[in-house]
Chains A and B, each alone.
Chain A
Amino acid sequence: MKEIVIKTDRLSKRFGDFTAVNEISFEVQKGEIFGFLGANGAGKTTAMRMLCGLSVPSSGKAEVAGFEVYRQSEEIKRNIGYMSQKFSLYEDLTVLENISFFAGIYGLSNREISEKTKALVEQLGLEKEAKKLVAGLPLGWKQKLSFSVAVLHQPKIVFLDEPTGGVDPVTRRQFWDLIYEASEKGITVFVTTHYMDEAEYCDRVSIMVDGKIAALDSPSNLKTQFKAGSMDEVFYQLARGAKRGD
């Protein structure tokens, strides 16, 4: 039996009379790369924000890293990393300053901070830019930096919200190398994306349509189930029925 790190049971979020997330139930196992797919407006980000403790669910249950989302959101935050859709590191701080700031907030010791910072800058190949303001970095590098900051404190789970949106194919590839590396270290990866080639890299994917989970399985099983040649086709078959969109 594999350890389960995320578990939801009929988790819902309503804004007024609009139900953004409608009774989703699923489980994510430790060490998995879990793809969270869906059209724009399907409710992916809302679901993810509930799991990260940024948004209180309207109903249903959810446990993340063994903690319950309603009452133990601060304990959850100690055990997860999060990378939002919008770049959210400080643009007016340098690469090094951003890394050490977040490392400090997560309570790493000074020695850990200097070791990690050095290793990270080397790994990302940012030696030259380390002392420059983040505002001046190209988007791809910013995204890699955000990801590295999100896993700096060795969280059990890392949540990535469209981490590769607007990024070129080469950088996307490098980004996925970072994801695999984190996954090998035992970090569970929960990732949303619109790129179906990226969906193929996941161990399992769920596809959300209009706030509900329409399908959940490994990419190869889904392709068989929907008699499709690629994840693109699977997604198309499911998302075509969507009533919401932006």
Chain B
Amino acid sequence: MRTIRFLLQKEFRQIFRNRAILLLIGVMPVMQLLILPLAANYEVKNINLSVVDHDRSAYAQKLITKVTASGYFKLRGYSASFKEELRKIESDESDLILEIPQGFERNLIREDQQQLFIAVNAINGVKANLGGAYLTSIIRNFNEEIRIELLPPGRFNPAPVIEITASNWYNPLMEYRFYMVPGILAILVTMIGGFLSALNIVKEKEFGTIEQINVTPIKKHHFILGKLIPFWVLGNVVFSLGLLVAWLIYGIIPVGSLLVLYCFLSVYLLAILGFGLLISTFCDTQQQAMFIMFFFMMVFILMGGLFTSIDSMPDWAKLVSRFNPVSYLIEVMRMVILKGSGWKEIWPQFGIIALFAVFLNTYAIINYKKTS
């Protein structure tokens, strides 16, 4: 125990002397939590719309007004030539073309039937998908309205219509920040913990100071613990700062128990720090450690369920994400913060993360060799 005390004293002294690390811990979480949730928004507004109107009738005008009044679309072009509007898509001025055919109004009234054409620029997949879907639903709405308007009440055929009302639980207003902030905080804690620990032992190798350590009778698990504990404390500090920002700026107060949240985080930090230390024991230079950690971080983040839902991934990707510690943290954070889940709901994730922690740290201790 005394050895660990000396190791901790030394690590903390070094951390508090390193202004870059202090800045990283203090400023990075605050800045990222201020900027990212506002920017990373799935709600697509400002879709640029071109309208090719071959009809120029009152109903066509009505439809266009309805579409532009929805707030999701910006009318970028209005002409009678499809070619001209297609050029706007090519030059990236427009995302969508809505083509209204000739005789739109006439056919609508006389034949009760009309077709519209939507062309979507699918380079930006999300925008295209959502834009198409928004437009379709606005047109459907429009359709309902004219049916009521055109068919006289007497002749009105009360066709069975299924109306769907939905309510969004745990996030009633579908606010993306409620969904994003816990996820971003999860990634922040992972990045800071992972990189700091990955670069630490390898830094001692680069500077040669590890030689002086290796020639002492220090126990391997003491050395690893001496590295683990300081970063564990820092991880908790970053997390608490993040929760504070989430509360002050976004008004997000965890619905579930803070105790559960911190318990899970404590074990999670051990896992991710153990992973960093393991990388550190494999590498000889900070550059190597940085690149390897970067590779894993990319996979962890992109497959962690923050930006794209794991449920919609193919089966092989779902399998990969089970080995991704970040996915468990993001899941648990959302469960506890938004839904108020307790021990009963999160114990499977807790168990898996605990296994990760034990495995990674044991491996790191074994792989740290005092003798080459």
Q: With an 8 A cutoff between CB atoms, is B153 at the interface?
A: no
How many angstroms from the CA of A103 to the CA of B68 in the assembled complex? Answer: 75
Known contacts A90-B10, A93-B14; A78 and B212 CB within 8 A of each other = no
Considering the complex, give the chain B residue whose CB is closest to the CB of A84: B211
Interface size class of B (residues with CB under 8 A): 20 to 34
Known contacts A78-B217, A82-B212, A84-B211; A107 and B10 CB within 8 A of each other = no
Q: Which residues of B contact A87 (CB under 8 A)?
A: 208
Q: Which residues of A contact B372 (CB under 8 A)?
A: 54-56
Contact of A104 among B3, B17, B207, B370 (CB under 8 A): B3
Contact of A77 among B10, B13, B17, B215 (CB under 8 A): B215
How many angstroms from the CA of A77 to the CA of B223 in the assembled complex? Answer: 15
Q: With an 8 A cutoff between CB atoms, is B216 at the interface?
A: yes
Q: With an 8 A cutoff between CB atoms, is A233 at the interface?
A: no
Contact between B209 and A107 (Cβ–Cβ < 8 Å)? no
Q: Which residues of A contact B10 (CB under 8 A)?
A: 90, 93, 97, 101
Contact between A106 and B216 (Cβ–Cβ < 8 Å)? yes
Contact between A80 and B215 (Cβ–Cβ < 8 Å)? yes
Contact of A105 among B6, B17, B210 (CB under 8 A): B6
How many angstroms from the CA of A86 to the CA of B208 in the assembled complex? Answer: 7
Measured between C-beta atoms, what is the minimum distance from B372 to chain A in Å? 5
Q: Which residues of B contact A92 (CB under 8 A)?
A: 13-14, 17-18
Contact of A89 among B6, B7, B209 (CB under 8 A): B209
Considering the complex, give the chain B residue whose CB is closest to the CB of A153: B216
Considering the complex, give the chain B residue whose CB is closest to the CB of A77: B217
Contact of B371 among A54, A86, A106 (CB under 8 A): A54
What is the interface of chain B mostly: helix, strand, loop, or mixed? helix
Q: Which residues of A contact B208 (CB under 8 A)?
A: 84, 86-88
Q: Which residues of B contact A100 (CB under 8 A)?
A: 6
Contact between A88 and B371 (Cβ–Cβ < 8 Å)? no
Contact between B207 and A91 (Cβ–Cβ < 8 Å)? yes
Q: Which residues of A contact B2 (CB under 8 A)?
A: 104, 107
Q: Which residues of A contact B211 (CB under 8 A)?
A: 54, 82, 84, 86, 88
How many angstroms from the CA of A88 to the CA of B203 in the assembled complex? Answer: 12
Contact between B370 and A54 (Cβ–Cβ < 8 Å)? yes
A selection of 20 A-B contacts at a CB cut-off of 8 Å is A53-B370, A54-B211, A54-B214, A54-B371, A55-B372, A73-B371, A75-B217, A82-B212, A82-B215, A84-B208, A88-B212, A90-B14, A92-B14, A93-B10, A97-B10, A101-B6, A101-B9, A104-B9, A105-B6, A107-B217
